[in-house]
Each structure stands twice: as C-alpha cells, then as structure tokens.
Amino acid sequence: MKQNTEMKLMAGLWLAVNAVTGSLSAAITPVPDKVACAVADHQAFTQPDQLHLTGWLGSRVEANEANRLVKIDVDRLLEGYRKRPGRQSWDGEHAGKWLHAATLAWVNTGDPALRQKLDYAAAELIKCQQEDGYLGTYLEKDRWTEWDVWAHKYNLIGLITYMRYTGNRAALPACRRMGDLLCNTFGDEPGKRDIIKAGWHVGMAPTSVLEPMVLLYRLTGEKRYLEFCQYILRAWEHPNGPKIISTLLSVKRVDKVGNGKAYEMLSCLNGALEYYRTVGDPQILQACLNAWKDIVDHRLYITGAASYGELFHDDFDLPNVANVGETCVTVTWIQFNAQLLRLTGEARFAEQLEHVVLNQLLGAQKCDGSAWGYYVQMEGKKPYSSTLDGHCCLSSGPRGVALIPTFAVSTDAAGVVVNLYDAGTAKLSLKDQTPVTLVTETRYPAEEQIRITVGLAGEKNFTLKLRMPAWCPAASVQIKGQPVALTPGPDGYVAVQRSWKDGDPVELRFKLEPQIVVGDHKNSGKLAVLYGPLVLAADADLLGDQLQGTRAVAFATADLAALAVTPEPAPDKFRTWAGAQVFRVNAIPRQASKSGQAVTSLPIRLVPFADVGTSGSNYKVWIPIGQTEGNLLLEEKESRSRRGNASGSITDGDPDTFVVTFDGKPAAEDWFAVTLAAPADVKRVVFVHGKTFHDGGWFDASAGQPQVQVQTAEKGKWETMGVLKNYPATTATSAAGLTGGERFTCELPNAAKVLGVRVVGKPASGDDPRQAFASCAELMAE
C-alpha cells in the first residue's frame, strides 16, 4: 500500500515539475549537439528524469545519491588540482567521475543540495585550469607521463555531462581548451607527442580519451576534435600501440588486445562505439561485437564480473580469489552493454545488464550506498571502503548505479521497450512525441508478478517490447486479462503492437525458481545456486553453530530436489529492502571427520550476492559437492613465504594448479602454509610437489630435507614435527628428476590438535643463481 501512495506522490510531483518546464516527458532539456550522428540509435538513451524507480533497484539508486554522491567532500576531489601534484598519480580522475555520476543523479532526483554541490565543484575545477588549458594534477615537468591524459578524459566527461543537463555553458570553454591542448600536444605530425607513450597499458589509458573527444566534436562541430579521434584510432594500430580494432577483428580475443587490462580496454571500446555512432564505420561495431561475444563466452564470472588481477586472461581462467572483479571493470562493462543495446536494440545486451547489475554491481555497492568494494570476488569478504585514496573503483561504482535509469526502460522507433523490471514510473515520449507513462508495480525479483499500467492521453497504436529473461523457464504475459504469444522477434524482445488506451494493464509473470550451475574448469566439483536472476552465496553469518565458516560448507549432491532451495523473508541483518529474501538450502559439513559422523543434512541460508557479506562476514559462491574424508586442509586458508607469480591454490583439492615463491630474488628459506578455522587432529601431512622449471621450483635438499611444522595456537610458534620422507637428493641446481605431482608424506609422532601446517625448506635456483624459488601443488593432512 505504501508503494502505491509513494507512486501517486511521485506522479503528482511530476505534474508539478512538468507544468513549470512545459516539457512532455523530461523535466530537463539538454543542450543539443551541433553534429548529428551518422548512426541512429535503435533504443534511446533515457534521460534520468524520465524514470523513477521505487523497487529494489530504486532503493539502491536512491542510496547512491543520498549516502554517497551528495556526501562527497568536493574539496578532497579538487585537492590535487588546487595544489599540484595530487597525492597519487591518478588522483585527478575522481573529480570528473563524480561530476558525471552526480549530474545523472541530480537529473534523476532534482535534489537542490546535490545541484549546489555540482555548481560549486564545476566552478572550482574550472578555476584550476592552467593558462594553456591543462587540467590535470601533475607538475609541468611531469606532464603526460602516466595518468593525466586519463584525468582530462574524466574532466571532459564530467564537465560535458554537467553542462549538457544543467545548461550552465560556463563549462564549455574549459572543455574546448582541454580539447585544444590535447590536439596541439598529441599527433603523428612532426613535433607532436605520441599519445601511446603518454600513459599506461600499451597506451590504452591515455587513448581512452577518445570517448569525450567524440562528444566534444558532436557538441561543438569543430573538425579538429574529430581529426584527433581519427589520430587515436591510427595510434592504436601503430607498432607500439595496443592493436585494439585489428586484434578484435582477426583473433577476436580481448586477452590478446594490448596487455589485456580490462578497465582501460573497455573504456577505449566505449569510446570506439561513441565514434561509430557519430561516424558510422561498421568495422568498429564489428570489433566491439567480437569483444562482447568473447567476454560473454570465455571470460565472464557467474556474477557478471570480468577480469582478475585487473586483466582479461586465457579462456575459462577464472579463479574465485585473485583480485577478481574490479568494480571499474564492472562499470565499464555495464557502459559497454548499454552502448551496444542503444546501437543495436538487441535484448541480449539488456540480458547481460540485468545480470551484472543485480549481482556484481549491487554486490560491490554497500547496501546503504555509503561505500564500495574494489575487488568483489567470488568468495572472501567484501572490501567496502568510502575513501578515495588509491581506489579508482570508489568513484566508478556510483557511475554504474547512476546509469541504471538510463537503460532500464527505453523507447525505439516502434514504441516503448522494457529492459529491467523494477517498480516505478517511466515518463516517455514516442517518436512522434506522444507522451506515454508506464507505472510498474512489483517486488521483483522477490516476487514473480509484475504489473505495468500504460498511461496515455488518448488511444494510440504503438509497440510495447518486453524482455523475457533468459533464465526464466516459464513466463506469461496478459494484457487486459488476455494471454499474449511469447514469440520473441529477431531483436530478442516479445513485441506487442496494438492500439493502447489509458489504464491498459500488462500483467507479467516470470516464474522464479532455483537453478544449480555445476562448476567446470577451476570450479569443477563445486556448484553455485541461482534463484531467478540472483546468484546466491553462503554467508558465515547465517551458517548456524554447527558450521564454522563458509569453508566448512558442502552440498551432498548436485540434485536440485534434494537441495530443496526455498525462499524465506530475510532476517533483520539482511533486510536491505522491503522484499529482501534469503534461501534455505540443505547443506552438509565439508569434513566428515570433523563432525565425526556420516553425511548429515544441515539447513543453511544462502544470500543474494548483492546482499551477502554486508556485515563484513565471509561469503562464498561456489560450494564443493560431497564430503571429504581425507584432507583436513581442503579449502582452508593458505599462505606462503613469497607471493610468487602463479595463480593456483594448494588447498583447492586440485593438484593440477600450483603456486610458486618466485620473485626474481634469492632466499635462504621458503614455506607453504595452511591455517585452519578450527583445530583438527592431524596424523599425517602430504606435500604434493608443484612444477619444476629450469631456474628452480624445488627444495634444495643438500641443506636438509624439507621440514614439516605445525602450529597449535592461533599465530603461535611453528614447531618442527619431522621431514618429508623420501624427498630426493636435490641440490640448488639439480631437481634430481622431480617434475611435479610427486607426493611426499610426513607421519606426525603424536596425533596433534593443530591450527596450522607448513612445509619449510631452502629454495633451489636451477640455472639462474641470481634467484631461487620453490613450488607446491597441494598441501594435505589426514
């Protein structure tokens, strides 16, 4: 009932706003472009004042504005500009990213406090521009070395967005002067600098300035800005360039573009699509479509995250924990899908948007909107932070949420398109300017009914396009009680063309049910549970007394009926919105020997990825199937003396993945350790050898066989219990035939209650005495 009242109030507010401006649908008239685009969008960019969401998405959009964007300390954003250099090399990016997100949020809410802050920030930022147009945070001697073209990119995006929607044209000369400085500084004519050398990641960081330079060209009609964009496209293909378009057209793999850095690459591709829209070069669209397909088919996590260690890697190389899911990548992936959706009008991009927004994006945003996570991985803790220091992602996340109203509902040549389902009101204009209102009532994704009421002044023939979620096994649509045939068109939408009247109801039902995804590649032997569009995860806060931590959880089976996944209202701690739910599921203890009994079903509650780990607790998406009799260290916490450069694990039950201690330096000692969440009786330790290389990867036994040590108190002293029996007579330079996968055991004299186990020895150097390292595939205990 409350929702309805709010919606009526919202509708009333709208009438008032519109009466003042006289606009039919949007309250704000943006400053128009001078240059028309060569390619017409299939779906319109929805100006955020046209769509007010009041459901789950709406609560996150509102929290983003109220608890993050309006609370930002503008003087902190400007600090590095007022007193150069900035406190870190990319400190300049936050101002423009905030201006972009905060402008969109202000257009959405009309919040006068945010507008005041925007006006102050824009005016003060412009005051920091230097005589020649420079608006970065570097000292003159250090210009164009790392991240200052990048900062200009964000200042252009921020100020152009601010100017476009506030109508405050004072920002335009500042943007022109930035654009002119870039045009005068960089180019392939003699006497100009090479932009590829002006920043990181094979020049992908500086050349991503393409996006706002296209916008500046459209806004001003100045040809030199377009020529600069064409220079960037040439520079990409220079011998020292990242070869973005050519690689995506030939090899069709994003991990082969430049150095594979995901955030910078997607930023470049978003600029490339803006260029395509403006100029219409079909090769560029094809390259971007190839990139999209490659990411979706080979390089996307189950939550919609892309990249680990901030890079795209080999096919299906998707570890759960390895600096996974940088939020900047999540947001540029959202922008990329939104661009492709507008340009092609195809539902498959909206499908990705629903998935990444409802899972990875909302999972990176703290539920109250106040903080963001940098890497939001498939397991671990959410690293929420609200400072900007060293955190590119903390100014990116709010941009992603502020963009939701721009694509959730849209219009096309035939009528209206619904991409994302959330309660709220959309005030749209058809192509012939006929105003249409859609009022959506639902608690989706907590309930399967969605009611959309069409609002019109009179009768009107147009098409309503509805996205049928790909995850949904059984959908139904009724208009005024009459069922609609659900045959999607070539664009993937179910299109209903008819003569609509004011008040016509559209009733949708997307059957919500659990689904299991059996893991493959790095997650073989594990499964993940989905419910409707939501990816679920175990949360240490909801495991009860019998399971200590998410590592102690397993499923007995991959049989959906036996798991008996059932939604329940969320307990207070997880009640992040009115429809918040958790999901009861039958789990078992991972360790048979720890519980001292056979498989016992223990009901636990899974939490949507968006809400999991909210209180700082540990969470985990991929849960092992089956109990383990043997290995007490399985899935426990691992560490080693040196980080090394291999991404495996020694507690994943998979001896094919290994870790090393390689860092290019010698060392007298190396160790591989596992610490347990709860003490266990250990009788035997098994060390599975990792890979040996020409320059090391084994222990040098001439200094003594590798030792097995245990820890009996948390952070206690390591005590030696024995050595790895039968470890061969290796030396610093000879592996004595060891190649990898061999097992060495150590019986413990007295079965001890231990909290930690480690193997220690002297690393070997092979043929390169300047360094030494060891390797381990798995450390096990019985």
For Zn ion, the binding residues (CB under 5 A) are: 326, 328, 392-393
Beta-bridge mates of residue 464 = 416, 496
Residue in 445, 457, 506 with CA at minimum distance from that of residue 479: 506
**Shortest Cβ 310–Zn ion spacing (Å):** 8
CA atoms within 13 A on the CB side of 771: 16
Given the complex with Zn ion, which of 47 and 155 has the nearer CB atom? 155
DSSP codes joined into one string, 37-96: -SS--SSPPPPGGGEEE-SHHHHHHHHHIIIIITT--HHHHHHHHHSSSPSSTTTTHHHH
In sequence order, the 6+-apart residues with CB closer than 8 A to the CB of 161 are 99, 100, 103, 104
CA distances 46 to 60, 314, 506, Å, are: 18, 36, 21
Q: What angle do CA 466, 468, 474 make, to 5 degrees?
A: 135
DSSP codes joined into one string, 237-278: TSTTS--HHHHHHHT--GGGSTT-BHHHHHHHHHHHHHHHHH
Query: How crowded is residue 217: how many other Cβ atoms within 10 Å of its Cβ?
Result: 25
**Shortest Cβ 68–Zn ion spacing (Å):** 16
Residue in 345, 359, 476, 328 with CA at minimum distance from that of residue 416: 345
Given the complex with Zn ion, which of 373 and 567 has the nearer CB atom? 373
Given the complex with Zn ion, which of 265 and 393 has the nearer CB atom? 393
Given the complex with Zn ion, which of 383 and 696 has the nearer CB atom? 383
**Shortest Cβ 394–Zn ion spacing (Å):** 8
Given the complex with Zn ion, which of 23 and 332 has the nearer CB atom? 332
Instruction: State the SS3 of 110-137.
Output: CCHHHHHHHHHHHHHHHHCCCCCCCCCC
CA distances 132 to 74, 81, 111, 190, Å, are: 24, 15, 35, 20
**Shortest Cβ 96–Zn ion spacing (Å):** 15
Query: How crowded is residue 174: how many other Cβ atoms within 10 Å of its Cβ?
Result: 22
**Shortest Cβ 329–Zn ion spacing (Å):** 7
Given the complex with Zn ion, which of 58 and 398 has the nearer CB atom? 398
Given the complex with Zn ion, which of 334 and 393 has the nearer CB atom? 393
Q: What is the DSSP letter of 618?
A: -
- 83: tokens are 């007193």
Given the complex with Zn ion, which of 154 and 493 has the nearer CB atom? 154
**Shortest Cβ 385–Zn ion spacing (Å):** 12
Given the complex with Zn ion, which of 287 and 393 has the nearer CB atom? 393
Residue nearest to Zn ion (CB): 328
**Shortest Cβ 331–Zn ion spacing (Å):** 8
**Shortest Cβ 268–Zn ion spacing (Å):** 16
Start-to-end Cα distance in the chain: 58
As a whole number of angstroms, the distance between CA 375 and CA 381 comes to: 10
As a whole number of angstroms, the distance between CA 255 and CA 313 comes to: 5
> Using omega within 30 degrees of 0 as the cis cutoff, is the peptide bond preceding 445 cis?
yes
Given the complex with Zn ion, which of 378 and 414 has the nearer CB atom? 378
**Shortest Cβ 97–Zn ion spacing (Å):** 10
**Shortest Cβ 405–Zn ion spacing (Å):** 23
Using the Cα atoms of residue 591, residue 596, residue 598 and residue 601 in order, give the sign of their dihedral.
negative
Given the complex with Zn ion, which of 388 and 428 has the nearer CB atom? 388
**Shortest Cβ 374–Zn ion spacing (Å):** 6
